Structure 1
Amino acid sequence: MATLHVLSHSPFADERLASCLRLLAADDGVLLCGDAVYALRQGSDSQRQLEAAGLAQRLFALDEDLQARAIASELAKAVDYPAFVALSLHYDKVNSWL
Protein backbone atom coordinates (compact mmCIF):
# COMPACT_ATOMS: atom_id res chain seq x y z
CA MET A 1 0.00 0.00 0.00
CA ALA A 2 1.57 3.24 -1.15
CA THR A 3 1.35 6.18 1.24
CA LEU A 4 1.57 9.90 0.64
CA HIS A 5 3.41 11.45 3.59
CA VAL A 6 2.45 15.09 4.17
CA LEU A 7 4.88 17.25 6.15
CA SER A 8 4.06 20.82 7.15
CA HIS A 9 6.51 21.65 9.96
CA SER A 10 9.94 23.20 9.58
CA PRO A 11 12.69 20.58 9.27
CA PHE A 12 14.82 22.77 11.56
CA ALA A 13 12.36 22.53 14.48
CA ASP A 14 12.24 18.77 15.07
CA GLU A 15 13.00 15.33 13.61
CA ARG A 16 9.77 14.68 11.69
CA LEU A 17 11.46 14.80 8.29
CA ALA A 18 14.21 12.38 9.32
CA SER A 19 11.65 10.04 10.91
CA CYS A 20 9.48 10.15 7.81
CA LEU A 21 12.40 9.40 5.50
CA ARG A 22 13.40 6.39 7.63
CA LEU A 23 9.91 4.91 7.30
CA LEU A 24 9.38 5.43 3.57
CA ALA A 25 8.54 2.43 1.44
CA ALA A 26 9.78 2.21 -2.14
CA ASP A 27 6.49 3.44 -3.61
CA ASP A 28 5.63 6.11 -1.02
CA GLY A 29 5.51 9.81 -1.87
CA VAL A 30 6.31 12.91 0.17
CA LEU A 31 4.51 16.24 -0.04
CA LEU A 32 6.09 19.27 1.63
CA CYS A 33 3.78 22.15 2.53
CA GLY A 34 3.85 25.07 4.92
CA ASP A 35 7.20 25.52 6.63
CA ALA A 36 8.29 22.02 5.54
CA VAL A 37 9.26 23.50 2.16
CA TYR A 38 12.30 24.97 3.96
CA ALA A 39 13.72 21.45 3.68
CA LEU A 40 14.43 22.33 0.05
CA ARG A 41 16.74 25.26 0.90
CA GLN A 42 19.93 24.98 -1.09
CA GLY A 43 22.83 23.62 0.95
CA SER A 44 20.79 22.61 4.00
CA ASP A 45 21.12 19.28 5.80
CA SER A 46 17.47 18.57 5.10
CA GLN A 47 18.01 19.08 1.37
CA ARG A 48 20.89 16.60 1.47
CA GLN A 49 18.66 14.11 3.32
CA LEU A 50 15.99 14.46 0.65
CA GLU A 51 18.53 13.99 -2.13
CA ALA A 52 19.95 10.89 -0.43
CA ALA A 53 16.44 9.42 -0.06
CA GLY A 54 16.19 8.94 -3.82
CA LEU A 55 12.69 10.35 -4.15
CA ALA A 56 12.80 11.06 -7.88
CA GLN A 57 9.24 11.56 -9.14
CA ARG A 58 7.87 11.04 -5.60
CA LEU A 59 8.78 14.33 -3.90
CA PHE A 60 6.28 17.17 -4.16
CA ALA A 61 5.98 20.65 -2.69
CA LEU A 62 2.99 22.97 -2.58
CA ASP A 63 3.73 25.73 -5.07
CA GLU A 64 1.94 28.40 -3.03
CA ASP A 65 4.21 27.70 -0.05
CA LEU A 66 7.35 27.65 -2.20
CA GLN A 67 6.43 31.06 -3.61
CA ALA A 68 5.52 32.50 -0.19
CA ARG A 69 8.96 31.54 1.12
CA ALA A 70 10.88 32.39 -2.07
CA ILE A 71 12.20 28.85 -2.45
CA ALA A 72 13.02 27.35 -5.83
CA SER A 73 14.04 23.72 -6.14
CA GLU A 74 14.56 21.20 -8.90
CA LEU A 75 14.41 18.42 -6.33
CA ALA A 76 10.64 18.54 -5.75
CA LYS A 77 7.81 18.87 -8.22
CA ALA A 78 5.73 21.96 -7.43
CA VAL A 79 2.00 21.21 -7.22
CA ASP A 80 -1.09 23.34 -6.76
CA TYR A 81 -4.09 22.47 -4.59
CA PRO A 82 -5.97 20.49 -7.28
CA ALA A 83 -2.80 18.43 -7.85
CA PHE A 84 -2.54 17.91 -4.07
CA VAL A 85 -6.06 16.44 -4.12
CA ALA A 86 -5.14 14.26 -7.10
CA LEU A 87 -2.06 12.99 -5.25
CA SER A 88 -4.14 12.12 -2.20
CA LEU A 89 -6.42 10.05 -4.44
CA HIS A 90 -3.50 8.42 -6.27
CA TYR A 91 -1.95 6.99 -3.10
CA ASP A 92 -3.71 4.30 -1.04
CA LYS A 93 -3.22 6.21 2.22
CA VAL A 94 -2.32 9.72 3.33
CA ASN A 95 -0.26 10.20 6.49
CA SER A 96 0.00 13.73 7.87
CA TRP A 97 2.99 14.20 10.15
CA LEU A 98 1.34 16.47 12.72
Structure 2
Amino acid sequence: MATLHVLSHSPFSDSRLSSCLRLLGPADGLLLCGDAVYALQSGTVQRQALNLIPDGIGLFALDEDLGARALIAPARTQVVDYSGFVELSCRFDKVNSWL
Protein backbone atom coordinates (compact mmCIF):
# COMPACT_ATOMS: atom_id res chain seq x y z
CA MET A 1 0.00 0.00 0.00
CA ALA A 2 1.53 3.29 -1.12
CA THR A 3 1.49 6.10 1.42
CA LEU A 4 1.82 9.85 0.99
CA HIS A 5 3.80 11.18 3.95
CA VAL A 6 3.07 14.84 4.71
CA LEU A 7 5.57 16.84 6.75
CA SER A 8 4.93 20.42 7.83
CA HIS A 9 7.33 21.00 10.75
CA SER A 10 10.80 22.49 10.46
CA PRO A 11 13.43 19.80 9.89
CA PHE A 12 15.74 21.73 12.23
CA SER A 13 13.51 21.50 15.31
CA ASP A 14 12.95 17.75 15.67
CA SER A 15 13.57 14.36 14.09
CA ARG A 16 10.32 13.88 12.14
CA LEU A 17 12.08 14.12 8.76
CA SER A 18 14.72 11.51 9.58
CA SER A 19 12.09 9.20 11.09
CA CYS A 20 9.92 9.57 8.01
CA LEU A 21 12.81 8.90 5.64
CA ARG A 22 13.54 5.61 7.41
CA LEU A 23 9.94 4.47 6.92
CA LEU A 24 9.46 5.38 3.24
CA GLY A 25 8.42 2.45 1.10
CA PRO A 26 9.39 2.01 -2.57
CA ALA A 27 6.07 3.37 -3.89
CA ASP A 28 5.55 6.09 -1.25
CA GLY A 29 5.63 9.84 -1.66
CA LEU A 30 6.84 12.65 0.57
CA LEU A 31 5.14 16.06 0.52
CA LEU A 32 6.92 18.93 2.23
CA CYS A 33 4.74 21.86 3.26
CA GLY A 34 4.91 24.63 5.82
CA ASP A 35 8.31 24.92 7.48
CA ALA A 36 9.26 21.43 6.25
CA VAL A 37 10.21 22.99 2.89
CA TYR A 38 13.33 24.33 4.64
CA ALA A 39 14.70 20.79 4.22
CA LEU A 40 15.21 21.70 0.55
CA GLN A 41 17.77 24.42 1.37
CA SER A 42 21.00 23.80 -0.46
CA GLY A 43 23.96 22.71 1.63
CA THR A 44 22.01 21.30 4.56
CA VAL A 45 22.20 17.79 5.98
CA GLN A 46 18.46 17.50 5.43
CA ARG A 47 18.82 18.28 1.71
CA GLN A 48 21.59 15.69 1.45
CA ALA A 49 19.26 13.11 3.04
CA LEU A 50 16.50 14.01 0.58
CA ASN A 51 18.95 13.63 -2.31
CA LEU A 52 19.45 10.00 -1.26
CA ILE A 53 15.76 9.08 -1.63
CA PRO A 54 15.40 6.48 -4.42
CA ASP A 55 13.94 7.83 -7.67
CA GLY A 56 10.81 5.66 -7.34
CA ILE A 57 9.72 7.65 -4.28
CA GLY A 58 7.97 10.90 -5.16
CA LEU A 59 9.29 14.07 -3.57
CA PHE A 60 6.83 16.96 -3.59
CA ALA A 61 6.76 20.48 -2.16
CA LEU A 62 3.89 22.92 -1.82
CA ASP A 63 4.45 25.91 -4.10
CA GLU A 64 2.88 28.48 -1.77
CA ASP A 65 5.19 27.49 1.09
CA LEU A 66 8.28 27.59 -1.11
CA GLY A 67 7.33 31.08 -2.27
CA ALA A 68 6.59 32.31 1.25
CA ARG A 69 10.11 31.28 2.27
CA ALA A 70 11.83 32.42 -0.95
CA LEU A 71 13.04 28.89 -1.69
CA ILE A 72 13.54 27.23 -5.05
CA ALA A 73 12.93 23.51 -5.23
CA PRO A 74 15.68 21.32 -6.68
CA ALA A 75 15.00 19.61 -10.02
CA ARG A 76 14.10 16.30 -8.40
CA THR A 77 11.24 17.90 -6.43
CA GLN A 78 7.81 18.17 -8.00
CA VAL A 79 6.21 21.46 -6.99
CA VAL A 80 2.44 21.28 -6.45
CA ASP A 81 -0.29 23.75 -5.61
CA TYR A 82 -3.25 23.04 -3.33
CA SER A 83 -5.14 21.27 -6.12
CA GLY A 84 -2.07 19.11 -6.65
CA PHE A 85 -2.02 18.36 -2.92
CA VAL A 86 -5.59 17.08 -3.16
CA GLU A 87 -4.71 15.04 -6.25
CA LEU A 88 -1.76 13.46 -4.44
CA SER A 89 -3.98 12.64 -1.46
CA CYS A 90 -6.32 10.75 -3.81
CA ARG A 91 -3.53 9.06 -5.79
CA PHE A 92 -1.97 7.32 -2.78
CA ASP A 93 -3.71 4.57 -0.82
CA LYS A 94 -3.05 6.27 2.52
CA VAL A 95 -2.00 9.70 3.77
CA ASN A 96 0.15 9.94 6.89
CA SER A 97 0.52 13.42 8.38
CA TRP A 98 3.54 13.67 10.64
CA LEU A 99 2.00 15.89 13.31
Aligned length: 98
Tell me how far apart the structure 2 counterparts of residues 5 and 91 of structure 1 sit (CA, whole Å). 10
Deviations 1:57-91 (A, max 9, x none): 60000000000000002231110000100000000
| Aligned 8 A contact 1:6 1:32 in 2 | yes
Match of 1:97 in 2: 98
Superposition TM-score, scaled by structure 2 size? 0.95
SS at match of 1:35: helix
Provide structure 2 residue ranges, at least 5 long, that are not aligned to the other structure: none
**Is the CA contact (8 Å cut-off) linking 1:7 and 1:33 kept in structure 2?**
yes
Matches within 5 A, 1:5-44: 5-44=5-44
TM-score (norm 1): 0.96
Quick check: 2:27–2:56 contact (8 Å CA) kept in 1? Answer: no
Q: Unpaired segments of 5 or more residues in structure 1?
A: none
* Counterpart in the other structure of 1:77: 78
